[in-house]
Structure 1
Amino acid sequence: MDKTKTVKTRKTPTPAFAVISFLVIVAVLVALINLGVDTTMSVFIAALIAVVIALLLDIPWADVERTLLRVVSDCIPTFLIVIMVGMLVGIWMAGGTVPALMYYGMKLISPKILVPLAFVLSGLTAEFTGTSFGSVATMGIALVGVASTTSIPVPLVIAAVVCGAWFGDKMSPLSDTTNLASGVSRVPLYDHIGSMMYTTIPAALVALVLFTAAGLMHSGGEMDTTRANLICDTLAEHFNLNPILILPAILVLLVSVFKLPALLGMGLTVVVSIVFAMVFQGVNFVELMNYAANGFTLSTGVDIVDPMLNRGGITSMTGLLITFMVASVMGGIITATGILDVLAKDVLLKFIKSRGVLVTVTLIYCYIVNFLTAGGQTVAIIVTEQTFEDAFDRMGIHRRVLSRTLEDAGTLSAPIVPWGVATLYVMEVLGCGTEYIPYCWFIFIVPIFSILCAFSGFGIWDKDGNKMWGRKKAAAK
């Protein structure tokens, strides 16, 4: 008996099948999210559709499992970093690091520099805590409260807060989107952050100049600092505050500067932060471990302050971890089907002939997915990465350029989607409408630098990690 006749031959997807399959997956994700289905469940259902596609192509399940395990195993370091981030925020709250940042930041507030300071302080808060939402709900509330007592347009200050919050979130090694973009692209965390500096830092400097100019045009008037003083007095009452408490936050930046392995750097920061919390706040080790696991809790009796402080912990990251794991499963199954290979080789690369066009199309695609999914930056990052990773590989462009591009569009566009989750959050927390969006200059400028880098070659690396700028034109093509 010829056993070979009973073995099904794996089918290679045609370009039409690949395009239709991918569009179906994206359409299901978009439809479910806009219907209000949880992001994790939407991605899970998309993964089930990918399973059906694999079965239609007669792909052996053993092949699917092998690819699935490989993709998920590649993401394990990112899972561990996300867990450490949750621990760190809880410890920083208990240890007074975040309260000290808020306290000393608000002491610097002046009407003449309120707008640029809103950008800088919100950025620093998000950089050190890894959360744009947390920055908006802490430093943002304080700054907007002060702005409401001046002649400065409140939407302008809100825009500066939003831009700063998403700038810090984007560049923070503690951020979920930063870890997600580097993780799904399989780029070391600090390589990813280093790559983003080429587009993000110049855009931040331009935005800072614009915010400074706009602030000077409107500065003046009387200022009632009652709200800021209430927050500062409450923080001083419940924490032993001094500038030394900011050192654990600075350590996060030093870890990035010296490019320590992400897990080692995070672990070192956690240990130092525990010591600081025990020495300066007198928190015992058992309490700290519980804060690290479940988040910091404190009742100050001041309604405006409690939401600023009660956050962090591993449990605060479980939603992201589950979404990330399910997304990894979806990505593994889609990879096993081979439709992304066909999309890249037989569809995209036929129309994309240069790195400039590739980066531009990737940005546009990421924007489209984000707007269609109501500001679903997680889905935008995942779907765009899976669509374009092979195109970057085949064109010999390092994936740190891809991971950067995902954040330049996917992460930053979230708070400018009028119907998006991030925008609704800003509106709810800061008590505004969408009138702040036109002032979000930083968010609009970053993609310009992203495209300039792509066409010029500056800030672009080849697949081996070598710089593509400073070469002859022929070599940088």
Structure 2
Amino acid sequence: MKRVRKEPTTLFALTSFLLIIAVLVVLINLGVNTTISIFLGAVVAVGIALALGISWDEIEKTIKNVIADSTPTFLIVLMVGMLVGIWMASGTVPALMYYGMELISPTILVPLAFILSSVTSIFTGTSFGSVATMGLAMVGIAMTTDISIPLVVGAIVSGAWLGDKMSPLSDTTNMASGVSKVPLYDHIGSMMYTTLPAALIAIVLFAIAGFAFGAGSMDASQSQLIMSTLEEHFNMSLILILPAILVLLVSVFKMPAILGMGLTVIISAIFAMVFQGVGFVDLMNYAFNGFSIETGVAIVDPMLNRGGVTSMMELLGIFMMASVMGAVITSTGILDVIARNVLLKFIKNRVVLVFTTLIYCYVVNFLAAGGQIVSIIVTEQTFEEAFDRMGIHRKVLSRTLEDAGTLSAPIVPWGVATIYVMSVLNVDASYIPYCWFIFLVPVFSILCSVTGIGMWNTKGEKMWGRQKAGATPLVK
């Protein structure tokens, strides 16, 4: 007999929602592995779907679709792991560290970490790639100073996700504009109103913090020890930085991400064999298992011994489980019910609408373990009608999705992005409070809604100077 699908009641939706959150939070706080915690959250979500009369065939189909859609991202993550291992062997990251220690003053290291990570991410369209390349080099330089490493990582992450948010090559940028049916560059232009002021303030804060936390001093002996060790084990040359520049070039020429990353891996491998004399078999092992070297210098080995496909296995497991859980939760319709019967009833003006959209993005992202794509899609589907009814242009919606949905990914303690940052940069979650740019952007989202600056009606006409804050009528 065919099962009849039930519409979840408001009470059922809220209870289910809180139950899934409770499972994740309790298990992770008890020390259960993150992947297993999310898996059990997904099991609970499947139970909820079955209770609503959703057939297992439909659930399985949803899971397969999500995994299929996520395959390109899985491949990119694997290639990032390969690239880090190869870049270590080729001397690319050691060269960035070596010349960075020669040229970068410790007094500007923290704001420069933010700026360089932003530029790298904007050109490459990937926050993960920016963290694994420029971020890794900046942390290596920071280790020769008395600057707080979590502070530097906070600056790196802020910059990396600024680029992930603004780059026309980024998957989240294209996703947010696509699902909102907003032209890509209209979407990017809208984001300027919240991103630029937040970035300027973040640079000032990072500069002040750099001085306050001791950026003015550098351990010259330690710096010299690291540089001499790198010189001893690598053939140092500025030409080794070319593979890092190649990452930028393939993005400038808009090469598909997987093809561009693959080309970079191949050329970087050639650099390793030509300039460092690394054998092909050893190089392939470095690509899979990560680079391995014993320099005899305790501070250097942890900087260099990293990367490889194996370093990404936990991340892939978390990513896969988070994608599955998010897909099943979405298929139940409980988020739609909560939004329609609870959230949307309180939305009476544009200020409340933007604020509620931001909060909803955060909630979904935390629920989906930092699944920013899930957050963007689910929130857009929930709030698009409200923006249309209020006469607010969808490029405000698409911007809001990124201001919270994209940017909140690396501040979810159990999230995919956070686990990635911690594993690649060898740091714990203590960097999260220093991600000031990420916390500033939603503030400007709300300020835009209050002042009307950076707000447009459905005809594309500017709202600022037209109405008082929050006075946008709810069009029936």
TM-score by length of 2: 0.75
Show the counterpart of 1:405.
Answer: 404
CA contact (8 A) 2:155 2:206 kept: no
CA contact (8 A) 1:134 1:308 kept: no
CA-to-aligned-CA distance 1:385-412 (integer Å, 9 cap, x gap): 5762422444464657524522323424
Show the counterpart of 2:274.
Answer: 279
Show the counterpart of 2:43.
Answer: 48
1:6-405 mapped onto 2 (5 Å cutoff): 6-110=1-105, 112-117=107-112, 119-120=114-115, 130=129, 139-140=138-139, 142-143=141-142, 145-147=144-146, 154=147, 158=149, 160-171=151-162, 198=192, 199-200=194-195, 202-212=197-207, 224-352=219-347, 357-364=352-359, 378-379=369-370, 381=372, 384=375, 388-394=379-385, 395=387, 397=394, 401-405=400-404
Q: Output the amino acid matched with 1:70.
A: N
Show the counterpart of 1:3.
Answer: none
Aligned counterparts of 2:66 and 2:174: Cα–Cα separation in 1: 10
CA-to-aligned-CA distance 1:115-169 (integer Å, 9 cap, x gap): 544555677899897475997876436425423xxxxxx5xx5565133221244
What is the CA-CA distance between 1:304 and the residue it aligns to? Answer: 0.4
Which SS does the other structure have where 1:255 is aligned? helix
| CA shift in 2, pair 1:158/1:59, >3 Å | closer
Which SS does the other structure have where 1:317 is aligned? helix
Aligned counterparts of 1:340 and 1:378: Cα–Cα separation in 2: 16
**Comparing 450-459 and 300-309, the one that deviates more:** 450-459
| CA shift in 2, pair 1:58/1:377, >3 Å | closer
Q: Output the amino acid matched with 1:273.
A: S
CA contact (8 A) 2:101 2:223 kept: yes
CA contact (8 A) 1:40 1:323 kept: yes
Which SS does the other structure have where 1:378 is aligned? coil
CA contact (8 A) 1:414 1:423 kept: no
| CA shift in 2, pair 1:240/1:66, >3 Å | same
Identity among equivalent positions (%) equals 52
CA contact (8 A) 2:145 2:217 kept: no
Aligned counterparts of 2:175 and 2:31: Cα–Cα separation in 1: 25
CA contact (8 A) 1:121 1:139 kept: no
What is the CA-CA distance between 1:227 and the residue it aligns to? Answer: 0.9
Aligned counterparts of 1:131 and 1:444: Cα–Cα separation in 2: 20
CA contact (8 A) 2:87 2:268 kept: yes
| CA shift in 2, pair 1:425/1:68, >3 Å | closer
What is the CA-CA distance between 1:184 and the residue it aligns to? Answer: 9.5
Aligned counterparts of 1:118 and 1:69: Cα–Cα separation in 2: 39
Aligned counterparts of 1:310 and 1:351: Cα–Cα separation in 2: 53
Aligned counterparts of 1:232 and 1:169: Cα–Cα separation in 2: 26
| CA shift in 2, pair 1:288/1:411, >3 Å | same
The Cα RMSD (Å) is: 4.5
**Comparing 313-322 and 398-407, the one that deviates more:** 398-407
Aligned counterparts of 2:7 and 2:208: Cα–Cα separation in 1: 58
Aligned counterparts of 2:89 and 2:246: Cα–Cα separation in 1: 17
Count of matched residue positions in the alignment of Structure 1 and Structure 2: 442
Aligned counterparts of 2:420 and 2:74: Cα–Cα separation in 1: 23
CA-to-aligned-CA distance 1:47-98 (integer Å, 9 cap, x gap): 1111211221122222222222222222111111111111111111111111
Aligned counterparts of 1:261 and 1:316: Cα–Cα separation in 2: 24
Aligned counterparts of 2:268 and 2:224: Cα–Cα separation in 1: 27
Aligned counterparts of 1:356 and 1:254: Cα–Cα separation in 2: 41
Aligned counterparts of 1:275 and 1:354: Cα–Cα separation in 2: 58
Can you give the 5+ residue segments of structure 1 that lack an aligned partner in the other structure?
A: 1-5, 148-153
Aligned counterparts of 2:427 and 2:324: Cα–Cα separation in 1: 34
TM-score by length of 1: 0.75
Which SS does the other structure have where 1:302 is aligned? coil
Can you give the 5+ residue segments of structure 2 that lack an aligned partner in the other structure?
A: 389-393
Aligned counterparts of 1:445 and 1:353: Cα–Cα separation in 2: 25
Show the counterpart of 1:150.
Answer: none
What is the CA-CA distance between 1:196 and the residue it aligns to? Answer: 11
Aligned counterparts of 2:284 and 2:5: Cα–Cα separation in 1: 51
CA contact (8 A) 1:122 1:161 kept: no
Choose from 408, 418, 440 the match for 1:445.
440
Show the counterpart of 2:391.
Answer: none
Which SS does the other structure have where 1:27 is aligned? helix
CA contact (8 A) 1:454 1:460 kept: no
What is the CA-CA distance between 1:300 and the residue it aligns to? Answer: 0.9
Aligned counterparts of 2:281 and 2:423: Cα–Cα separation in 1: 34
Aligned counterparts of 1:186 and 1:32: Cα–Cα separation in 2: 35
Aligned counterparts of 1:217 and 1:39: Cα–Cα separation in 2: 35
CA contact (8 A) 1:74 1:186 kept: no
CA contact (8 A) 2:89 2:272 kept: yes
Aligned counterparts of 1:320 and 1:195: Cα–Cα separation in 2: 33
What is the CA-CA distance between 1:326 and the residue it aligns to? Answer: 1.4
